[in-house]
């Protein structure tokens, strides 16, 4: 097995230490020399790793004062996800009427969806709610959503509520997501998706969202946005570091349905 590049090794080490709470918020990290010695790396590699951790909100670097742990990686993710995860709100903001059509619902075991179970940290015999919904703005399909929810946290789902806002339903049940992460990539429609949207040539934007409740994985959703109906814009700012390097940080993002 190939070893990770040293700067990735440093990033993953500190991410884990911070996420499990071994390194506390505002705690001072070891000095640059100490970290370089611990991982047997150059100062350039150290700087690359620290810049990446800072850009993701895991640490905060202050010239002349050192580097401290930051919890911004949770709050910044939560802020952007709470905005972007609500497709219903996006459609309303665009001045259109939202509607969700339940295409399929079922309960499966972890062994039936091993990749999902791994992300939700479920065992082979654990149950998972699974549902597919087609999301509309007026009469236009905006996206197809595939959602997996841990039955351990949400034992029962009223499937009638899946034709409305799932976010609102979850909140009404007193389930509060603590934080999450998201990523985007391009995708081509599967045969089933092509049948739903009526074309096999329309590009899709795939968004993967993993939500946690009390630091326990709760929900994994894959949104497949129809490329002609959805765009994303982001505002960036440059962060200048005392070593003369810069990193980019997203200060605002906006998703638009059309």
Residue ranges of domains in the chain, CATH in brackets: 1-70 (1.10.10.10), 76-233 (3.40.1410.10)
pTM: 0.61
Sign of CA dihedral 165, 212, 78, 173: positive
The pLDDT tens digits of the residues spanning 194-250 come to: 999 888 888 899 999 999 988 899 999 999 998 654 454 444 455 555 555 555 454
Query: Residue 118, Cβ neighbours under 10 Å: how many?
Result: 12
CA–CA gap between residue 183 and residue 166 (Å, rounded): 20
pLDDT in tens, 89-138: 777 777 778 889 999 999 999 999 999 999 999 999 999 999 999 999 88
Q: Which two tokens stand for residue 25?
A: 């918020």
Reported confidence tier of residue 180, pLDDT bands at 50, 70, 90: confident
Euclidean distance between CA atoms 121 and 118, whole angstroms: 5
Regarding beta strands 127-137 and 98-109, do their DSSP bridges make them parallel or antiparallel, or are they unpaired?
Answer: antiparallel
> Residue 108: how many CB atoms within 10 A of its CB?
16
């Amino acid at each position: 097995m190939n070893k990770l590049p040293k700067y990735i090794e440093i990033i993953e080490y500190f991410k884990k230490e911070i996420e499990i709470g071994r390194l506390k918020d505002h705690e001072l990290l070891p000095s640059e020399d100490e970290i370089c010695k611990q991982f047997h790396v150059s100062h350039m590699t150290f700087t690359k790793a620290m810049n990446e951790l800072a850009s993701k909100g895991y640490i905060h670097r202050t010239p002349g004062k050192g580097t401290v742990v930051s919890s911004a990686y949770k709050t910044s993710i939560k802020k952007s996800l709470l905005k972007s995860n609500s497709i219903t709100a996006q459609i309303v903001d665009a001045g259109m009427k939202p509607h969700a059509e339940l295409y399929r619902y079922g309960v499966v075991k972890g062994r039936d969806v091993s990749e999902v179970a791994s992300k939700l940290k479920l065992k082979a015999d654990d149950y998972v709610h699974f549902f597919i919904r087609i999301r509309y703005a007026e009469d236009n399909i905006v996206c197809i959503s595939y959602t997996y929810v841990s039955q351990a946290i949400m034992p029962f789902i009223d499937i009638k509520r899946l034709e409305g806002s799932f976010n609102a339903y979850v909140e009404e049940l007193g389930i509060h997501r603590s934080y999450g992460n998201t990523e985007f990539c391009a995708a081509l429609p599967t045969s089933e998706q092509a049948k739903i949207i009526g074309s096999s040539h329309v590009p899709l934007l795939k968004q993967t969202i993993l939500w946690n409740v009390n630091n326990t994985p709760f929900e994994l959703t894959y949104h497949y946005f129809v490329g002609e109906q959805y765009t994303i814009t982001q505002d960036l700012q440059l962060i200048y570091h005392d070593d003369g390097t810069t990193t980019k940080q997203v200060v605002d993002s906006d998703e638009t349905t059309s």
